[in-house]
Amino acid sequence: QVQLVESGGGLAQPGGSLRLSCVASGFPFMDYAMTWARQAPGKGLEWVAGIYSDDRVAYYSDSVKGRFTISRDNVKNTLFLQMNSLKPEDTARYYCGKPADRGTYLYTPWPIESWGRGAQVTVSS
């Protein structure tokens, strides 16, 4: 079965950095686009970043452009989100998601069939 396990969350100060990792298993990781999404308390899901199977970046949300970088290691079956210049509004639970098929989707929301349990990111001074 598909498994997605996020790690790397925690507490950071404004302006600080964190790197999230998502270790994937149970499917041919290299064949699938992947995404990071986040949800803050009381708010809806925000599509943070997406990446295609061939390492091309699909999208970044406007709120994270220039600060976050999505990447992947298809040998290690791992998805990353490097988060720099963190802001308090980045505080959320961050989820790694796998689309339902191998499509190269152009628009969010992507048809995600599996999510990890998430990693909490808190940005506070």
pLDDT in tens, 41-62: 999 999 999 999 999 999 999 9
Tokens read off for 52: 């295609």
Least Cα distance to 37 among 61, 7, 67, 65 occurs for: 61
Backbone angles phi, psi at 84, to 5 degrees: -115, 165
**N-terminal to C-terminal alpha carbon distance within the chain:** 40
Q: How far apart are CA 112 and CA 72, in angstroms?
A: 18
Which residues, given as ranges, of the chain have pLDDT below 50?
Answer: none
Q: What is the pLDDT of residue 49?
A: 98
Q: What is the pLDDT of residue 102?
A: 92
Q: How far apart are CA 83 and CA 3, in angstroms?
A: 23
